[in-house]
Chain A
Amino acid sequence: MDFTLSEERKMLQETVGKFFNSNYKNIDKRSENVNLPEGYSKEFWKESSDLGVISALVSPKFGGLGGSGEDISIIFELVGKSLCVEPFLSSAVLSSSVLSSISNPRIDLITDIIEGNLLISFAHSEMNNRYEDHYIETKAYLKNDEWNINGTKSFVMNGDDASKIIVSARINGDVNDRDGIGLFLVDNDQTLKRPYNTIDGYRSTELTFKDLKGELLAKDENALKCIIKANSAGALALSAEALGIMQICFDLTLDYLKTRKQFGKSIGTFQSIQHRMVDMMLEIEQVKSAVMLASSTFETDDLTRDKNISAAKNLVGRVGKLIAEETIQLHGGIAMTWEYSAAHYAKRLIMIDHLMGDSDYHRDRFKLLSNF
């Protein structure tokens, strides 16, 4: 049994951590990145590529230098600690996951992503499919040997700036069928875009396709498997990101309890507050344990992988709410302000439960996979 990181991973953690901190010095710097035209810093994204951060999210089999569950967790815990808004999730995890798990992996495109030259977004979510892997209204049809796509995809992360989009679409069958799904690669210059910022500072987009030509990447069982895997990888990444955020929330709150004085003493001396901090600390240890387990089984069979990821994401949803709400409550008024960083951490922590399956979704999936 060994629960410590290898020397290589410790180095990765240290290097990437320093690099993130040097750019994301404070919450104002983050706001600058959020307010750039693309909703993130292209410069920082390129530097991340040069340093090998994107490569660390991709397996050596597909041109990367990492890509294991532990690599994803290490990087995303740091993404969470800095609240990075760059397209690590959309392009480096979701899209490269699809591109590497199709029958003919597209190493050419993955390499472009790793090198920071190409941004590809994964467009699976729709206004009505909530968190489902298979519920798809967008349609694809074949005409003169060419695939055409019609429909609207919602909540596409970095969908405005990406040059290419991976789209899930229904080739045949009913919207809720598990069969008849296709994955397509399309150019993003012909799509209709409605970009917006999310409440937690990320860039998202509505993308509408009208008879848009696409290249078929996968279909039927293989396509669904790719979607499930990408969504699981995303849920793992977000769980690790949430863990990083929780640790910052805890530290910020503890610091504040030491400095804030009321009734003539620092409020951290009050037992009722100390006990709530212990509850937070304990639940963060629980989340850390669940993320470690999910990371360690990311490359095993699909069932174990998805069961442990669902356990982690369910716990993250529940504990995330606790930590976010307690962080705000224990700070008091100051955490209600836009100016103070804790507010932004709390917001992201809550909104993570609205991405890649919330705690209810993952609890139900855990039940299904555990044969309840």
Chain B
Amino acid sequence: MVIKMNFEYSEKDEKFRKEVKDWLDETLPKSLSEKVKKYQRLTKEDYEIFMNNLTAKGWLAWHWPKEYGGTGWNAIEKHIFEEEIIKASAPRIVPFGVNMLGPVLIEFGTEEQKNYYLPRILSNEDWWAQGYSEPGAGSDLASLKTTAVDKGDHYLVNGQKTWTTLGHHADKIFCLVKTDLKAKPQLGISFLLIDMDTPGVEVKPIITLDGEHEVNEVWFTNVKVPKKNIVGKENEGWTYAKYLLTFERTGIAGVPYSKSALNHLKMISKRSLKNGKPLIEDSIFSSEIAELEIDLLAMEIFNLRTVSAAAEGKAPGMESSLLKIKGTLVRQKTTELLRKALGPQALPYLPEQFDEGWNEMPVGPSYAGPIAKQYFNMRKISIYGGSNEIQKNIVAKASFGL
């Protein structure tokens, strides 16, 4: 008896996929998915509508164990869930509370912290931000300079965090701070929870090269933080941060995003003209699309192999890093070809068209507006979450034995 390798989803998986899809069809407002499709700006309420729906369904904490109000899904189910919410053009689940802080608290938090914070994450009562990067600490995160000085009943925090995504909506921020100034870089760091409305916390917008306000600077000037807000032990925050970074990330390759971008690219290449003929009939351009599609096809299988191994209990190690590198390169290539496909139609920049309700005439086809902006925005993905160069260092260190 020869049993074939099986690349198909099981019947049970397909049933689950249908359940997710049906639920999205039913609950995700069309006006909201239209906004996502058109790359329009999302308000805080837009994110909350979707996340509150997930809360009501019990699916918000899709990474958490069941006993904490999570789903208890295996890696394949998580993968399907992620794929379907992207396919449905839902807003992204803001990850800082539920996907990042939640697992750290579950693993390292006190009972009091778990009882207080986890239900508030589950109900979307608290909007969390991540306070890791600093102006002088990017890839070399451990060299961070924000200090928290022990003042008996509280820490006194001073310093500056940066690239704080959606920090202008946040109620709270989890921060890596220096509690032992004399210790070597990775040793004197603590993991601190800070209320954004504490006196001395100031949020300043950073406008990115695409003209958008997504990230911020967060300044701390003599901010008093109660000592009970420390997670785990003092000076051991680096361990918790690393735990978070290595936390199972099945969707890191962004396959569904690239798949939908590839379809969009083909559609636009059929409508754009070159010498009066559809651009897709240009052999050189279509060859670029074809090789991108082949890379994506291979990456999807690579991703599924990793997901499937994770479902069997094998924690993805360097695979996450490899998928992050390839995933960002493929996704950036889709935005590059989309930009090229438009030719001069990529030039007009009408920032007001990304506001809800804008109904003036665009310059050129309606799909052209966001393409160049999106290309520039997507340069970030090979920089954040550990730049591709850092990912390569991680793989080399973990698996080459050099």
Interface residues of A (CB under 8 A from B): 1-6, 8-9, 66, 68, 70, 254, 257-258, 266, 268-269, 271, 274-275, 277-279, 281-282, 285-290, 292-293, 295-297, 308, 311, 314-315, 318, 363-364, 366-367, 370, 372
Contact = CB atoms under 8 A, between A and B. Distances in A.
Contacts of A366: 290, 293-294
Contacts of B350: none
B396 A278 contact: yes
Nearest 4 interchain pairs by C-beta: A289-B301, A274-B396, A6-B3, A290-B298
B297 A70 contact: no
A286 B302 contact: yes
A315 B298 contact: yes
Given A3-B304, A366-B294, A296 B2 contact: no
Interface of B: 1-10, 13, 76, 266, 280, 286-287, 289-291, 293-295, 297-302, 304-305, 307-309, 311, 319, 322, 325-326, 389, 391-393, 395-396, 399-402
Nearest to A257: B402
Nearest to A360: B287
B393 to A, nearest CB: 7
B291 A363 contact: yes
Nearest to A5: B5
Contacts of A266: 402
A275 B291 contact: no
Given A292-B301, A311-B294, A363-B287, A278 B392 contact: yes
Nearest to B1: A8
A371 to B, nearest CB: 10
Contacts of B13: 1
B395 to A, nearest CB: 5
25 contacts: A1-B307, A1-B311, A2-B6, A3-B5, A3-B7, A3-B308, A4-B5, A8-B2, A271-B393, A275-B389, A275-B392, A277-B396, A278-B392, A286-B299, A288-B302, A289-B300, A289-B302, A290-B294, A290-B301, A292-B301, A293-B301, A363-B287, A363-B291, A363-B294, A367-B287
Contacts of A308: 297
Contacts of B395: 278, 281
Contacts of B295: 286, 315
Contact of A282 (B9, B289, B325, B402): B325
Given A278-B396, A282-B326, A292-B7, 14 more contacts: A1-B8, A3-B309, A70-B5, A281-B322, A281-B399, A289-B298, A289-B305, A296-B4, A296-B5, A315-B295, A315-B298, A366-B290, A366-B293, A372-B290
Contact of B396 (A1, A258, A275): A275
Contacts of A314: 290-291, 294
Contact of A367 (B8, B286, B297, B401): B286
Residue among B289, B392, B393 with most chain A CB within 10 A: B392
Given A275-B396, A277-B396, A286-B302, A1 B9 contact: yes
A277 B400 contact: yes
A2 B3 CA distance: 10
Nearest to B305: A3
What DSSP secondary structure best describes chain B's contact surface?
A: helix
B305 to A, nearest CB: 5
Contact of B2 (A68, A271, A315): A68
Nearest to A363: B290
Residue among B8, B266, B297 with most chain A CB within 10 A: B297
What DSSP secondary structure best describes chain A's contact surface?
A: helix
A1 B312 CA distance: 11
A258 B400 CA distance: 9
A59 B395 CA distance: 41
Contacts of B298: 286-287, 289-290, 293, 311, 315
A296 B297 CA distance: 14
B393 A274 contact: yes
Contacts of B291: 314, 318, 363
A2 B305 CA distance: 8
Contact of B290 (A66, A285, A288, A367): A367
A290 B8 CA distance: 15
Contact of B7 (A8, A296, A318): A296
A95 to B, nearest CB: 23
B7 A289 contact: no
Nearest to A359: B291
A370 B311 CA distance: 32
Contact of B401 (A3, A258, A318): A258
Contacts of B3: 6, 8
Contacts of A364: 287, 290
B297 A290 contact: yes
Contacts of A274: 392-393, 396, 400, 402
A80 to B, nearest CB: 18
B364 to A, nearest CB: 24
B370 to A, nearest CB: 24
Contacts of A279: 392
Nearest to B329: A282
Contacts of A68: 2, 4
Contacts of B391: 278
Contacts of B300: 289
A269 B396 CA distance: 10
B375 to A, nearest CB: 22
Given A3-B304, A3-B305, A287-B298, A292 B400 contact: no
Nearest to B394: A278
Nearest to B289: A372
Contact of B402 (A5, A268, A286): A268
Contacts of A5: 5
Contacts of B325: 278, 282
Nearest to A3: B305
Contacts of A286: 295, 298-299, 302, 326
A285 B294 contact: no
A6 to B, nearest CB: 4
Nearest to A274: B396
B9 A372 contact: no
B302 A285 contact: yes
A285 B322 contact: yes
Nearest to A6: B3
B7 to A, nearest CB: 5
A254 B13 CA distance: 40
B340 to A, nearest CB: 16
A293 B290 CA distance: 17
B299 A372 contact: no
Contacts of B319: 285
A335 to B, nearest CB: 19
Nearest to A295: B5
A311 B5 CA distance: 19
B317 to A, nearest CB: 13
A315 B308 contact: no
Contacts of B396: 271, 274-275, 277-278
